[in-house]
Amino acid sequence: MDDGKPLFLQIAELIESSIIDGSLQEEAKAPSTNELATFHRINPATAAKGINHLVTGGVLYKKRGIGMFVSPGARNTIKSRRREQFAENYIDPLIAEARKLGITASDLQILIQQREERHDQQ
């Protein structure tokens, strides 16, 4: 874990990815702060900050005395937010560069399909 993002965000993203890929189902118990801290060899306060970030975002909720659980609808919430981030980080700059180069939307679509076919063949 070290992609330049704060550790607590990396922890939150790991949990989110587990929710998206289905390895952590909605209403399932999430890993505890101590489990995360031990497994990733980080400070428990950092793990707690990652968990709290997910609580604030509505991805996890607390059952008093039992632990943290995945909120109903969390998977769709995460996917929706990540789609928007994807568009902002990749699609918007792609469109801007395409315009500079005179590439139309239909040309872009063809380029994307060609690249996708290439990747499918690999």
Is residue 120 over pLDDT 90? Answer: no
- Residue 60: its H or E element: strand 60-63
Task: Supply the pLDDT for residue 114.
Answer: 94
pLDDT average, residue stretch 88-114: 95
Instruction: Round to whole Å and give the CA distance between 61 and 84.
Output: 23
Domain ranges of the chain: 7-74, 75-121
pLDDT at residue 4, as a whole number:
82
Q: What is the pTM of this model?
A: 0.80
Q: What is the pLDDT of residue 78?
A: 97
CA 78, distance to chain mean position in Å, is 6
Rounded mean pLDDT, 107-113: 94
Dist. CA 18–CA 102, nearest whole Å: 40
pLDDT at 2: 64
Give the Cα separation of 27 and 55 in Å (integer). Answer: 13
CATH architecture of residue range(s) 7-74:
Orthogonal Bundle (1.10)
| Whole-angstrom distance, CA of residue 92 vs CA of residue 102 | 15
